[in-house]
Structure 1
Amino acid sequence: MAAETEKETPTMTQTDTATPTHSQLFTNARVFTGTDETDVASAFRIVDGRFDWVGEASAVAGEPAVDLGGRTVLPGLIDSHTHPALMAATAVAAECFPPSVVSIDGLVERLREHQATLTSPSAWVLGRGFDDTKFPEGRMPTTADLDAVSAERPVLVWRCDAHSAVCNTAALRLAGITATTPDPAGARFERGPDGEPNGVLTEIAAVEAVARFIPVPERDEQVASLVAIGEELASRGIVAVCDLLSNRLQDPLDAFRAAAAKGLRTRVALYPGWDPSAPLAELTPDDREGRIRIGGVKVVLDGAYSNRTAWVAEPYPESCDHGLRLVEDDDVLAAGAWARRNGVQLAVHAMGDRALERVASLFEDQEPWLDGIPSVRIEHATIISEGYAERLRSARMTFGIATHTVFFFAEYDGYELALRAEQVPDAYPIARLFRTIGPLALSSDRPATAWSGADDVMLSVEAAVRRQAYNGADFVPEEAISVAQALLLYTGRAGLLSPLDSVGRIATGYDGSFAVLDRDVFSVPADEIATVRVAETWIRGEQVYQRSPQDEGVRS
């Protein structure tokens, strides 16, 4: 798909139609419209929640207006790959992300602190986000470590990639996992020298074998968590998200719509995971429409680079291991057929070069089934050569990509160990993708990212511009892009990737959603981009967030 692909100007949907007319003019701003790299305005008008006019303040001089004080304004931001359903389902989990937890001792202490807050005798000690590649111990934690948190309560903590986890002996016992338990397909129960399971659960099927015993939060708790997540997103300037693997909640469409009735303002496209053993129901037109909608279906084809489970053609350095393929061709094709039949996207998690090759081989010659957005999305897409990017662009199928810069920023240690030298130049080649793939987005993958506050857009923008990791190490600096280009991958270009219509641009007909920054992200030094903060967020003409004075100086 060519880089200049455009969606049609959105039209008013039934759910957004307002009866009374309300008009508000905003002036005296530097308005990055999200239309292209250079389009800037200084004023705009919102009528009934939609941008009605965008232009120069001089054209409306003398009219009553909200004066934005010369500040920089961006379109409401889009996080094209994140996991609010997972966060709501595990809202009680302790955050164990770097840089606050960087050792096994620190992990154990954080989990002990969490245990002290539990009151229900059936509650598990849960955590998420640890990155063992940063641990001085140089290894994964095991049951021997987590049994020190509790010998009675089950303990489970997810690794930063959310593909693997570690649990204690009590959790293994509750799940019935012993030395004789066979490994799940595409996953492993890791074992010690004696053959006994050591609590390390490698890949999703192994994690689910234990996690399915965790008590499910009450529906009211889930809905309240979703509302709170929406408020946090607004504090980042994020007004729309794609939830990839939304069936972490039971009946996620109903849960998110219930949250919307309770105050969730975020636009949400849901992508339930494909499970061959539990086929998805066919969709109704109502399922695919509205502010909260089903956007597609997700297939997880392989693992993650940071723990060397991504499916690769050549073995990992100093290894004969090629990672893990998690599903077979028939299942991927079945998910694609369901997406075609139901008029939604197929999203395929593919990180390793062999997984990416498989996606192209399976779909490049098929006829697209969607207009205006790609029929097939590739999630993460770590290793993209020039030839592969051109292959996607020129294919009969329409492809889009949701990728990241926060990954190499936060997980540099893991990538340094996992990438072969010849792969490094093709790792997260954002400049190459920007030139080649029109429907392209940067995203957070929160909470499956090894950093606290991974959904801070400015953190990702700085990483895209500087191409440096958290420790200052350069990471393929040739693939750096400009601030404006990076912001397009959270606004106008991101809007081409998914069915989240009406967002991503300050343009006539789009949602009147925008973010006001506390400093001009286009003029601050490159090494200060990540310190720029959202001062205000407006959704459909209503201010939903204003940074309070006590927040000044607080950094993620």
Structure 2
Amino acid sequence: MSRQAFVAGKVFTGEDESRVVTAFRVNDGLVEWTGDVHELDPAERRSAIDLEGRTVLPGLLDMHLHPAVMASLADAVECLPPRVRSVDELVATLRCHPALGAGPDVWIVGTGYDEAVYPEHRHPTARDLDRVSTTQPVLVWRADRHSAVCNTRALEIAGITAATPDPPGSRFGRDETGRPDGILTERDAAHAVARHVPERTAAEFADLLGAVGERLLARGIVGVCDLMATALPDPLATYRSAAGRRPFPRSALFLGWDPAAPLPDLTEDERTGPVRVGGVKVLMDGTYSGRTAWVCHPYPESDDHGLRAVTDDDLCAARDWARRNEVQLAVHAMGDRAIAHVVDLLGDDEPWLTDQPSVRIEHATLMSPELVDRLRTTRMSFGIATHTVFLFAEYAAYARNLRPEQLPDAYPVRTLYGAVDALALSSDCPATAWSEADDVFVSVEAAVRRRAHNGEDIGQDAAVTVAQALLLYTSRAAGLTRLTGLAGPSRLGTIAPGREASFVVLDRDVLTVPSEEISRVRVDETWLAGRRVYRR
């Protein structure tokens, strides 16, 4: 296709909250013109692709999710609510895993348990998972993907005993006698076991990642930031292999920072192209649902302030690597103490990037107005990838872990929308307790209604309009991290002349449906650089 006009019922261009047109023209994968259908001459109008009165949006951008993890979990049994709502149901679900009985070296892996909804009000333990198998290793990831639980056999394989010290910023759960109980709190503890799960070949990972790319395109997602790309053994090569075989979203990969194994410097080729290394990621703290986010005030009914997961020296080393390699530093920081510490430590630094924020704060769960003001006045350029899906999907845990006076500051999207230019809503899929977290319209509805999945109020004062929520998945999101499309860097997120012709066609008008029906909106078609890559 070279030059082709499109006619639709409504084209939300993403240029601002209100601009809508009814036609646009694409030339060699780029948008050439937008306007009213009646501006087309009769011949072009007759040859135009008629989108049958449907609504069109710019291609959607999910700026914080984990396609590499999604690929690695291809054979893990899903243990999310509502399928699993108790320890007994977790055990029963794991016993349905096809690997059960396959041999003593074959792992049984699950993902998505959420103890906050269990009537037992506790984490499952090794004793529980021993009911699945005592001869095969069993490992189940918590919904947040920060923590996990395993059975006794998995502890034995990992060599974790009563004498094993806790990793920095993590901990091994222990019973009343001091023996490990299988609960693996935070990343280093979980990975002490998970690293023993046999890895697939590079070709297998590329095939699985390609399938994830197809899933995302079917969701209308044309650009992604993978904030855990090092879940793959050779992330950039695997991504490029997957993208070379079939249509694939534009991708920026963030590599995990390991102080014990510093990353090599990047080449120019690794930093450029439609699939590139976008930055390095550091964990400042844990998660709110797991009470491991680093907070100023202790969690209710406790003296626990969560966990700090990285030293200042290691954070600064990651910053220096990002600066030297001209990529972003992404800092996972959920708790207010973690966010404030990042701002204090890096706020006076000179930014090293001009076309995107030098530092991204991931999640930014608890943001008081004072903390938002501090973020705005720093010398450093900060951007934020935040969410509504956590409060929507994990209401029980947040209601238990947030103090009442903190609720107005939990994911304050409306405040951030007016204060932070480089801001995106995102899914964090699959690291949350919702199996369809990568459905953008679930997050959009939660941002507009500020209601949890059970109807509970999750902060009406933080609600935004539908148009604002859509911008946080399109043009505003594009400003958070540079994604390279056909027309060069940062050319996604809008339907405007000179931009890549990547757009989605919806089955209904998301701008006018009742707010409680937004999550039912479906993508009928996805177009990438002027080529249709998905049709429902």
Both structures adopt the same fold (TM-score exceeding 0.5): yes
Match of 2:446 in 1: 463
Post-superposition Cα deviations, 1:37-72, rounded to whole Å, max 9, x if no partner, equal 001111111111111111111111421110011111
> Is the CA contact (8 Å cut-off) linking 2:104 and 2:137 kept in structure 1?
no
Match of 2:437 in 1: 454
**Is 1:232–2:212 an aligned residue pair?**
no
3-state secondary structure, aligned to 1:408? helix
Match of 2:510 in 1: 521
CA distance in 2, matches of 1:130, 1:349: 21
Match of 1:343 in 2: 326
Describe the shift of the 1:121–1:503 C-alpha distance in structure 2 as closer, same or farther (beyond 3 A). Answer: farther
Query: CA offset at residue 119 of structure 1?
Result: 4.8
Q: Number of residues paired by the alignment?
A: 527
Match of 1:11 in 2: none
Describe the shift of the 1:52–1:120 C-alpha distance in structure 2 as closer, same or farther (beyond 3 A). Answer: farther
Q: Residue 85 of structure 1: which of 68, 73, 80 is its match?
A: 68
> Is the CA contact (8 Å cut-off) linking 2:335 and 2:365 kept in structure 1?
yes
CA distance in 2, matches of 1:149, 1:385: 44
Letter in 2 for 1:543: R
Match of 1:316 in 2: 299
Letter in 2 for 1:261: G
Query: CA offset at residue 111 of structure 1?
Result: 1.0
Match of 1:512 in 2: 501
**Is 1:43–2:23 an aligned residue pair?**
yes
> Is the CA contact (8 Å cut-off) linking 2:388 and 2:443 kept in structure 1?
yes
CA distance in 2, matches of 1:264, 1:131: 34
CA distance in 2, matches of 1:22, 1:265: 21
Letter in 1 for 2:136: R
3-state secondary structure, aligned to 1:205? helix
Q: Residue 330 of structure 1: which of 313, 323, 347 is its match?
A: 313
3-state secondary structure, aligned to 2:251? strand
Post-superposition Cα deviations, 1:372-400, rounded to whole Å, max 9, x if no partner, equal 21000000001111121122122111110
Post-superposition Cα deviations, 1:356-379, rounded to whole Å, max 9, x if no partner, equal 011100111111110121000000
Match of 1:22 in 2: 2
CA distance in 2, matches of 1:455, 1:65: 32
CA distance in 1, matches of 2:274, 2:286: 31
3-state secondary structure, aligned to 1:544? strand
Letter in 1 for 2:276: R
**Is 1:488–2:471 an aligned residue pair?**
yes
Query: CA offset at residue 353 of structure 1?
Result: 0.7
> Is the CA contact (8 Å cut-off) linking 1:311 and 1:353 kept in structure 2?
yes
Describe the shift of the 1:117–1:69 C-alpha distance in structure 2 as closer, same or farther (beyond 3 A). Answer: farther
Query: CA offset at residue 28 of structure 1?
Result: 2.7
Residue pairs, 1:266-277, within 5 angstroms = 266-277=249-260
Describe the shift of the 1:523–1:148 C-alpha distance in structure 2 as closer, same or farther (beyond 3 A). Answer: same
> Is the CA contact (8 Å cut-off) linking 1:99 and 1:452 kept in structure 2?
no
> Is the CA contact (8 Å cut-off) linking 1:351 and 1:383 kept in structure 2?
yes
CA distance in 1, matches of 2:97, 2:341: 42
Query: CA offset at residue 546 of structure 1?
Result: 1.1
3-state secondary structure, aligned to 2:96? helix
Q: Percent identity?
A: 58
Query: CA offset at residue 118 of structure 1?
Result: 7.4
> Is the CA contact (8 Å cut-off) linking 1:226 and 1:264 kept in structure 2?
no
Letter in 1 for 2:203: D
CA distance in 1, matches of 2:75, 2:106: 10
Describe the shift of the 1:469–1:52 C-alpha distance in structure 2 as closer, same or farther (beyond 3 A). Answer: same
Letter in 1 for 2:165: P
Query: CA offset at residue 88 of structure 1?
Result: 1.7
Query: CA offset at residue 251 of structure 1?
Result: 1.6
3-state secondary structure, aligned to 1:166? strand
Match of 2:486 in 1: none
CA distance in 1, matches of 2:502, 2:152: 49
Letter in 2 for 1:229: V
Moved more, 54-63 or 288-297: 54-63
3-state secondary structure, aligned to 1:478? helix
CA distance in 2, matches of 1:346, 1:378: 9
CA distance in 2, matches of 1:410, 1:118: 33
**Is 1:442–2:442 an aligned residue pair?**
no
Letter in 1 for 2:527: W
CA distance in 1, matches of 2:82, 2:17: 33
Post-superposition Cα deviations, 1:87-142, rounded to whole Å, max 9, x if no partner, equal 22232111111222211122112111114577576321001111110111111001
Q: Residue 536 of structure 1: which of 510, 515, 525 is its match?
A: 525
CA distance in 2, matches of 1:486, 1:93: 32
Q: Residue 52 of structure 1: which of 9, 32, 35 is its match?
A: 32
Post-superposition Cα deviations, 1:231-251, rounded to whole Å, max 9, x if no partner, equal 100111001100002111112
**Is 1:400–2:383 an aligned residue pair?**
yes
**Is 1:205–2:191 an aligned residue pair?**
no
Match of 1:545 in 2: 534
> Is the CA contact (8 Å cut-off) linking 2:295 and 2:335 kept in structure 1?
yes
Match of 1:288 in 2: 271
CA distance in 1, matches of 2:264, 2:429: 27
CA distance in 2, matches of 1:58, 1:473: 46
Q: Residue 373 of structure 1: which of 356, 360, 372 is its match?
A: 356
Query: CA offset at residue 168 of structure 1?
Result: 0.5
3-state secondary structure, aligned to 1:113? coil
Letter in 2 for 1:295: G
CA distance in 1, matches of 2:8, 2:158: 60
> Is the CA contact (8 Å cut-off) linking 2:255 and 2:281 kept in structure 1?
yes
3-state secondary structure, aligned to 1:87? helix
3-state secondary structure, aligned to 1:128? strand
Match of 2:141 in 1: 158
3-state secondary structure, aligned to 1:129? strand
CA distance in 2, matches of 1:344, 1:118: 46
**Is 1:138–2:121 an aligned residue pair?**
yes
Match of 2:289 in 1: 306
**Is 1:184–2:167 an aligned residue pair?**
yes
RMSD: 1.2
Letter in 2 for 1:525: P
CA distance in 2, matches of 1:117, 1:235: 32
Superposition TM-score, scaled by structure 1 size: 0.93
Query: CA offset at residue 279 of structure 1?
Result: 0.3
Match of 1:18 in 2: none
> Is the CA contact (8 Å cut-off) linking 1:274 and 1:298 kept in structure 2?
yes
Query: CA offset at residue 342 of structure 1?
Result: 0.4
* Structure 1 ranges of 4+ moved more than 4 A: 116-121
Post-superposition Cα deviations, 1:407-427, rounded to whole Å, max 9, x if no partner, equal 100011111111112211111
Letter in 2 for 1:511: E
CA distance in 2, matches of 1:159, 1:133: 11
Match of 1:250 in 2: 233
Superposition TM-score, scaled by structure 2 size: 0.97
> Is the CA contact (8 Å cut-off) linking 2:247 and 2:533 kept in structure 1?
no
